[in-house]
Amino acid sequence: MSRARRAGVVGGVFGAVAAGVAAGVALERLAVGRDRLRPDPEAGEAFGRLPGRESSVTLPDGVRLHVEETGNGPLTVVFVHGFALSLASWHYQRRDLADVGRLVFYDQRSHGRSTRGDDDSSTLAQLGLDLAALIDAVAPTGPVALVGHSMGGMTIMSLAKERPELFGTRVVAVALLATSAGGIAEALVPIPQRAADVVTSRLLPRVHRVAGAPLIARGRRAGSDLNFLFTKVWGFGDNPSPAQVELIERMTSATPLDVLTAFVPTFVEHDLYDGLATLGRVPVLVLGGTKDRVTKYAHSEEIARRTPGAQLVTLNGAGHMLMAERAPPVNLHLRAFLRRAARSGEAARGA
């Protein structure tokens, strides 16, 4: 794909998403306040307040990854969050799965409490190398299972492409939630080459130059109702918990806009299907929601089809943030899967 084509798809995605959300905003914003005030069983959740052990890992380029962990055991489970999120997106897994082993959560570079990387490092290839460095630092020995959501799943697939020798040796199991191995943006918004040229030469550079401006940042914070609506529509399935929507909205709103624009091109051009054979060396669990508007369910089906021996779990009606929206069934499947991984890790050590 040409540079003009890649950038044009990026601009098309932004434009289509903005147009889709803007349509009907006047009516929807009236309902946001009522939605936030309706009875919500998740309203009392201790989001961001779960206990854990904090540390950091400094990468070769100086970026510092913020790390938190809980639980103990021979199996280390590393949770890798998605785009514009942070380790807080794994709240329900952190709360409920400490019995399966040592759980490690971290903020990816330029996200959450980790420090910023430069624009050139805002790639899935770099995120895969970051994950390798994290494993070396926090789990230099013993079996490791990896759990990734969205961009986090892509990070794991990138690791398989960059460091295949880890799979079947150090990495003993992989779970992929609501992710894709390629073809996201073009499936969302195919646009003509002429439009791509205009976006490349005029729009995208200007967007990136002003993305970090204080005025833009204040505008994002001020538009909290619109942010809530955007998150609800694009992140969740039917009738989501307002508290869960606000949890995700706080993370996405806290991610600087220039970080978002720096990462988008890597999603447009990524193709990680070649790494799926490497993943097939270990047990793989794929979970997808049928109402995922970001990485549509067909992407989960394709990953499972191309990964030898992968198990596909379908969550009917679930959206992109299925680890929160459908926490009970997600955790049920993860617990069973990770316990099997722990047993296989123990068997491998005893062999």
Per-chain mean pLDDT for the chain: 86
pLDDT of residue 22: 52
* Side chain identity, residue 40: D
Q: Does the pLDDT at position 34 exceed 80?
A: no
Map residue 149 onto helix, strand or coil.
strand
Q: Does the pLDDT at position 351 exceed 60?
A: no
Q: How many CB atoms lie within 10 A of CB 139?
A: 18
Does CATH number 3.40.50.300 belong to domain 3-18+50-350?
no
pLDDT of residue 199: 43
Domain locations in the chain?
3-18+50-350
pLDDT of residue 203: 52
Q: Does the pLDDT at position 7 exceed 70?
A: no
Strands 64-70 and 76-80 come out as unpaired
User: pLDDT tens for residues 50-94?
Assistant: 999 999 999 999 999 999 999 999 999 999 999 999 999 999 999
CB proximity list for 78: less than 8 A, separation 6 or greater: 104, 105, 106, 131, 134, 135, 138, 139, 144, 145, 146, 147
Q: What angle do CA 93, 235, 10 make, to 5 degrees?
A: 120
pLDDT of residue 39: 86
User: pLDDT tens for residues 309-340?
Assistant: 999 999 999 999 999 999 999 999 999 999 99
| 74 backbone dihedrals φ, ψ, rounded to 5° | -70, -25
Name the band, by pLDDT with cuts 50, 70 and 90, for residue 268. confident
pLDDT of residue 185: 66
- Sign (positive/negative) of CA torsion 7, 13, 14, 15? positive
CB proximity list for 119: less than 8 A, separation 6 or greater: 262
User: Is residue 82 within 8 Å of residue 319, measured between CB atoms?
Assistant: no
Map residue 175 onto helix, strand or coil.
strand
Closest CA to 279 of 150, 140, 145: 145
Name the band, by pLDDT with cuts 50, 70 and 90, for residue 211. very low
Percentage of the chain surpassing pLDDT 70? 76
User: pLDDT tens for residues 147-195?
Assistant: 999 999 999 999 999 999 999 999 999 999 999 999 876 545 444 544 5
